[in-house]
Structure 1
């Protein structure tokens, strides 16, 4: 009987002493942040541009292998995007889900019931874009802090060319501007 009492007394002393040695019974989480003004903006509300592609014959794509670009047609934006920034140069990323998973340099066709097996290879300031790339800026901004981004596109196949079907082709790329 004495053994049981001693053991209970020792255990209760151990548990009570743990609280006695703690500096405090409260903790805290500190969260810091900063609100800043918009450092980049598209000029004149022009945050969208369109590339109107010439039609391509299905037979022109028939001999291409999957992942190939059709070089017979290349169209560009008529009006480039203009981005004015203050401070550090922006980084412009693209939404990855708008590109083919097997060929990440070819955009997905988003037209329901449209052509299959085909998308576009897109360039910005003459650099080919892909799901993981940042849009390259064309050097330093002009004297007003404005960057110009010229886009162009070419048809590209994501299936063997003879598997491409007829129909409309359309892709949209979402740009996200990040400044530090």
Structure 2
């Protein structure tokens, strides 16, 4: 009979997730991970694999636990409501935890060493998948008349992603929630209106 693990895998993953969230991938040391997990390095990597594998599992955990607002947004009736939900929820998430503000997918991932290139690429793919979902949703909005025919769904999706990324960077830099909410509203003030937007579309 195999030995039982002496630690809770879910709790350990949540702990290392917070470290990666605060310090980024390269900024996080093995000592940081073992201290947060409360287990020795051999046991940690026996359970999760190496640092890259651990980060990938932490990223999946982040997506599962904290980014549920994105599929929620995609179900809303208008493109503007989709964008507003994402932007305001991003402000909330990026300012909710004072000890690790910002976004796991942005913090420490904009540049790195050659050894960290697979992680950087994984984060690019992670963000690109979200942008593709937005583009598809906005294409449907255009087909339905919720967006004008001149609208460019790919550009609108990139715009929303760019604003959310900027919110993450500014949250990490210490911007207040009120200021970031104002940024989100400023971005939404330029949102294009279609000919058949349902009532309540401006909310």
Decide: shared fold, TM above 0.5: no
Of Structure 1 and Structure 2, the greater helix share is in: 2
- Ranked by relative contact order (alpha carbons within 8 Å, sequence separation 6 or more), the top structure is 1
Of Structure 1 and Structure 2, the greater strand share is in: 1
